[in-house]
Amino acid sequence: DSGVTQTPKHLITATGQRVTLRCSPRSGDLSVYWYQQSLDQGLQFLIQYYNGEERAKGNILERFSAQQFPDLHSELNLSSLELGDSALYFCASSVMAAAGELFFGEGSRLTVL
Amino acid sequence: QQQVKQSPQSLIVQKGGIPIINCAYENTAFDYFPWYQQFPGKGPALLIAIRPDVSEKKEGRFTISFNKSAKQFSLHIMDSQPGDSATYFCAASKGSSGDKLTFGTGTRLAVRP
């Protein structure tokens, strides 16, 4: 158990809808990362927050947004969903902004029909 | 320049065999090369990592070999066991910050009893 909690584990929704994925980092970790894993694809970095502030942005679509709250949990919001957004979304945390080891949650599997 | 190419896509070995997974990179600025292991239904977990000042690093049955001039690194699993069956991702970054990690596409390893 990595200590990172993600909810929901599975989510099925329709195109055009909006969903929110939630992540609670390991106790004491200030940095949260979001990654997308599609079929036959590696892990694509989406966005990073550190202690409530956005620190880095990767290949995140404009339809997607995220935030980190004062209690350090984070939410990833996906809107105007398309079929191609179906993927596993992972949250990871680390102690500092630049840390060698990421601790991943078990992921949220999103299926867009 | 940011790509990390990983091969093979899948690998089947017998128990006791030595699977080898290879990765190649282009960006000579990369200086941190971790391997992550992912079991079905779980998030990736750091297995072993190397920096380019050494050519080999061993942790238990897992060894990373690093060839800086060829811009290649590989993972060897000695005396492989069925419990090693998982997907393995190589990654690379400049610095060890998670926002800069570029992951390979993964290798699905099956170790037959």
Give which of A5, A60, A49 is closest to A27, Cα–Cα. Answer: A5
DSSP string, B27-70: -TT--BEEEEEE-TTS--EEEEEE-TT-SEEEETTEEEEEETTT
Give Dmax over CA atoms of chain B in angstroms: 41
pLDDT tens column, A56-83: 898 899 999 999 999 999 999 999 999 9
Look at residue B31 in the predicted model and tell me its pLDDT: 86
Of B99, B104, B106, the CB nearest to A45: B99
Q: What is the DSSP letter of A25?
A: P
Q: Which helix (H) or strand (E) holds B7?
A: strand B4-7
Report the residue of chain A nearest B35, measured CA to CA.
Answer: A101
Give which of A36, A58, A81, A49 is closest to B43, Cα–Cα. Answer: A36
> Taking 90 as the threshold, does the pLDDT of residue A53 lie above it?
yes
32-61 of A, contacting B, C-beta below 8 A: 33, 40-45, 48, 55-56, 58
DSSP-derived 3-state class of residue B100: helix
pLDDT tens column, A79-105: 999 999 999 999 999 887 665 688 999
Look at residue A59 in the predicted model and tell me its pLDDT: 83
Look at residue B79 in the predicted model and tell me its pLDDT: 97
Distance (Å, whole) CA B47 – CA B22 = 15
Residues of B with CB under 8 A from a CB of A: 4, 6, 9, 32, 34, 36, 41-46, 49, 89, 91, 95-101, 103-106
Spans of chain B, pLDDT less than 70: 1-2, 96-100
